[in-house]
Amino acid sequence: MYRLLIVDDEELITDGLYDVFSRLMPEHLDVYKAYSGKEALDWMSRTRIDIILTDISMPGLSGLELIERVQSLWPHCRVIFLTGYDYFDYVYQAIQMNDVKYILKTEGYAKVVETVKGILVELKQSSLKSQLPELTDQEKHAYELMAQSDFMRHVIQKSNLSVRDFDNLDEEFHNLNIPLKTSEQVYLVLGNLTYPKNTTYTKQTNILQYVRSYWEQKFFTQLKSLSIMDRYGDLVWFIQMKENKPFTPQHLMDYLEGNLEMFQDDCLQIMDLTIQFTMSNGPVDWQSVSGKYEYLRQLQQLKLDSKYPSIIKEQPNQAETLETLNPIPKMDLLTAHLSANRREEFFEEFYELINSVQKESYHQMTKVYYSVALVLYVDISQNQLQNRMDDLDRTFKIDEHASLTSSFNYLEKVANQLFALKKADGQDRASQVIEGICQYIENHLDEDLSLVRLAEIHYFNPSYLSYFFKQEQGINLSEYIDRCRIRKARELLSHSDLKVREVSEKVGYHTAHSFTRFFKKMTGMTPKEYRGSLSKQ
């Protein structure tokens, strides 16, 4: 939504233009008015203004002086100067400013409306065409590394979904300049770094950059690889063989192990940096990256002694030994979807998790059950819904369910009820907020009811408040205010002896002619005609 500010010391002109533009496109243009340059600056200090339509010659602060200050507050604000006379000096100064248009008042409302509409089109086109500033090669490289790391963290968290469409994944790799292929299997190496004591954050960052650069230098001729930092602060390397290097999987593992030893020694000697590596015993398909990564993390935690460099290798049958300790990576996803009320995504992960453990041991299935139950219970507690949930006591009593299948069906039921309650509460809160806004409007019709003011009172973004109100009430906020004002005006004209001027002030119109124009537009009669029609009944 764009904002237009109309400024003129002639109230008749200001009010007339305000009425025209307020009804022109209420869903796309938020309109404000000021009767002096000082009042206009007050508005400018409170909210962003996109277009200012101002008289060029006003007492006190002239239009030109006003715009000089405006451009320091909102440099992208577009300016339309309005004047009743063809002042050469004023026009000459005006055309020296960027993005300024000049209109004579004698050209009429149609010309002003046409000009504002044209600027709105220009603003939209400018927004669509706006580009990031030119980046240096160093900045581009830094952003590329960030994007690569973000995407690959997504892959290791959710590789089974990331690679369902290999064409799309290959395209992402190409766009992000990732030197790997989805058509080839990938080796994983996990690196845990133990920094020297009292190492600052900046120093750690420099060390990380050195480690990654040294890796590329050491392995570049033989391997394709990409390194990222995971959420635990460890480095993860994704490795593939180069096309012209006919390594067997075992040869590659031996090559890696031998060079990793030298890599550790160099880092210890040069930077006093201890690195423990954990490596897979062979390549995996991209769909299995998440599971392999989680497994390597668990293996690392079991074997890790941070005092000395070490290389932990996965043994052929070790996965079975570690099965009961293997963490459940989907819990973070379930928690995130539940917190954000993403019902569809939550159940997609939930069903996939349940299906994946159907053939696991009883112990593993029990662990999954309690892990999901804990995720649900934490969210229930955070939203204070314990007393509104059905049959919640059985959440941590798996033995009270007839079977493991029925226990997971129970969790599904709990999750469904939780989403339903949160949705209902969200709707209730939305209704309460809108009800409060409506009540405020009805009780303060003689005060400032601008979108900016209402947003300030109720702690909303002005544009979002306008959208939110329309979604909840089915009408624009400005339309609702007009309905309240006309209803109150009719009531006062019907049941009081107040003069028309007094009625206009009580419903927020501080000039009688503006109120008369508004009333006639809404009812087809002037206030006096309306009051006269009542006496004839």
Question: 292, 325, 358 — which closes off a domain?
Answer: 325
Distance CA 324, CA 326 (A): 6
Distance CA 277, CA 80 (A): 66
Distance CA 19, CA 112 (A): 13
CATH number for the domain that contains residue 218: 3.30.70.270
Summarize pLDDT for 168-224 with one digit per residue, the tens.
Answer: 788 889 899 999 998 889 999 999 998 888 889 899 888 888 898 888 888 877 889
DSSP string, 376-395: HHHHHHHTT-GGGSTTGGGG
User: 């233009």: which residue's tokens?
Assistant: 17
Cβ 193 vs Cβ 274: under 8 Å: yes
Residues 277 and 321 in one domain: yes
Q: How confident is the model at residue 336 (pLDDT cuts 50, 70, 90)?
A: confident
Distance CA 280, CA 303 (A): 14
CATH number for the domain that contains residue 10: 3.40.50.2300
Summarize pLDDT for 450-470 with one digit per residue, the tens.
Answer: 888 998 888 888 888 888 888
Beta bridge partners of 227: 237
The sign of the dihedral angle between the CA atoms of 25, 29, 30, 36 is: negative
User: Above 90 in pLDDT, residue 226?
Assistant: yes
What is the per-residue pLDDT for 431?
A: 81
Distance CA 326, CA 293 (A): 11
What is the per-residue pLDDT for 87?
A: 58
User: Hey, how many other C-beta atoms are within 10 angstroms of the C-beta on 13?
Assistant: 15
6 within a domain of the structure (yes/no): yes
Q: What is the mean pLDDT of the chain?
A: 84
Distance CA 436, CA 434 (A): 5
78 within a domain of the structure (yes/no): yes
Cβ 284 vs Cβ 160: under 8 Å: no
Summarize pLDDT for 117-148 with one digit per residue, the tens.
Answer: 999 988 888 765 555 566 677 778 788 889 99
How deeply is 59 buried, as exposed, middle or buried, from its count of CB atoms within 10 A (0-12, 13-18, 19+)?
exposed
Q: How confident is the model at residue 537 (pLDDT cuts 50, 70, 90)?
A: low
Angle among Cα 278, 284, 287 to the nearest 5 degrees reads 115
* 78-82, 261-265, 319-323, 421-425: the lowest-pLDDT one: 319-323
Residues 169 and 304 in one domain: yes
Phi first, then psi, for residue 486 (nearest 5°) are -70, -35
The Cα-based distances of 50 to 47, 413, 449 in angstroms read 10, 50, 20
SS3 content of the chain, % helix, strand, coil (to 5): 60, 10, 25
CATH number for the domain that contains residue 507: 1.10.10.60
Q: What is the mean pLDDT of residues 471-484?
A: 90
202 within a domain of the structure (yes/no): yes
Range of the domain at 483: 444-536
439 within a domain of the structure (yes/no): no
Q: What is the mean pLDDT of residues 253-261?
A: 88
Number of domains in the chain: 4
Distance CA 241, CA 253 (A): 11
Summarize pLDDT for 381-436 with one digit per residue, the tens.
Answer: 998 998 999 888 888 888 888 888 899 999 999 999 999 999 888 777 778 888 89
Residues 317 and 172 in one domain: yes
433 within a domain of the structure (yes/no): no
Residues 192 and 311 in one domain: yes
Residues 498 and 515 in one domain: yes
Residues 187 and 315 in one domain: yes
Q: How confident is the model at residue 486 (pLDDT cuts 50, 70, 90)?
A: very high
What is the per-residue pLDDT for 318?
A: 52
What is the per-residue pLDDT for 536?
A: 67
Cβ 312 vs Cβ 278: under 8 Å: yes
